[in-house]
Amino acid sequence: MDIKSTLRKQIIERRESLSRQQVEEKSRAVMNCLVSLPEFIKASTVMSYMDFRNEVRTREIIAFCLSNGKRVAAPRVDKSGGKGASKLVAYEIRDLEKDFEPGTFGLLEPRTDESRIVAPEEVDLVLVPGVVFDRKGNRIGFGAGYYDRFLARTRNDCIKAAVAFDFQVLDEIPAEEHDIPMDIIITESGVIYNSKGERKN
Ligand SMILES: Nc1ncnc2c1ncn2[C@@H]1O[C@H](COP(=O)(O)OP(=O)(O)OP(=O)(O)O)[C@@H](O)[C@H]1O
Ligand SMILES: [Mg+2]
């Protein structure tokens, strides 16, 4: 197994061992930190996936955005391009309870609705899911490259942010040419900022 796969497996195991209460408590701390950041406050269109298993809970973040006048988009895996051409498409979410349905990999994804497609260029801040990160903003995701391809289509000034637990952030992880680094990582103990252009190994 390569280093990325090994790290992914180890950290997922560690995350699976958290209790529901630990996930909820730490997630609250992460959210309180995120919503006070100027980058978040400034963002009018926020994109976020729905948390899955023991990920930092994003559902409360989505709810916060909706009740604070932000436009919210959520990603869906679109397979219409055929084999090898599947990609992420973002759809606007207006109702946390009604607008998600079980989709690819058992994740909750937005329902398809042409009229609600949000183009990557419209996103001001995107929460990027990931398993392992480092202090330079490098990220190991689930290994499909969906986010690396989606992020490449966002605006240059779009803030790429990750929410994670402390143990998901290591000193240094391998990064490849196609890996797009995070600008901000928020954990239960605070924020890690990465100045643009200085984040790669
Ligand atoms: N910009 C890109 N263009 C073409 N292929 C890409 C691009 N980014 C990633 N890929 C493909 O996706 C594969 C998986 O990428 P990687 O190992 O970085 O996954 P990941 O970052 O963990 O996944 P994800 O982005 O879905 O969370 C790569 O081996 C590569 O073939
Ligand atoms: Mg990658």
Atom index in ligand 1 nearest the CA of residue 139 equals 21
The pLDDT score that the predictor gives to residue 12 is 98
- DSSP letter at 79 equals -
* pTM for the predicted model, two decimal places: 0.94
Output the CA 141–ligand 2 centroid distance in Å.
6
Lookup: tokens for 100: 């998600």
Instruction: Return the residue whose CA atom lies nearest to atom 27 of ligand 1.
Output: 141
How confident is the model over 112-145, as pLDDT tens digits? 999 999 999 999 999 999 999 999 999 999 999 9
How confident is the model over 149-173, as pLDDT tens digits? 999 999 999 999 999 999 999 999 9
For residue 37, give Cα distances in angstroms to 31, 128, 184, 185: 10, 16, 10, 11
Mean pLDDT, rounded, of the chain = 95
Output the CA 97–ligand 2 centroid distance in Å.
30
Instruction: Tell me which ligand sits closest to the C-alpha of residue 85.
Output: 1
pLDDT confidence band for 7 (50 / 70 / 90): very high
How confident is the model over 187-200, as pLDDT tens digits? 999 999 997 544 44
Amino acid at residue number 163: V
How crowded is residue 18: how many other Cβ atoms within 10 Å of its Cβ? Answer: 16
Asked if 35 and 64 touch (Cβ cutoff 8 Å), the reply is: yes
The pLDDT score that the predictor gives to residue 196 is 54
**Cα–Cα dist 27/60, whole Å:** 9
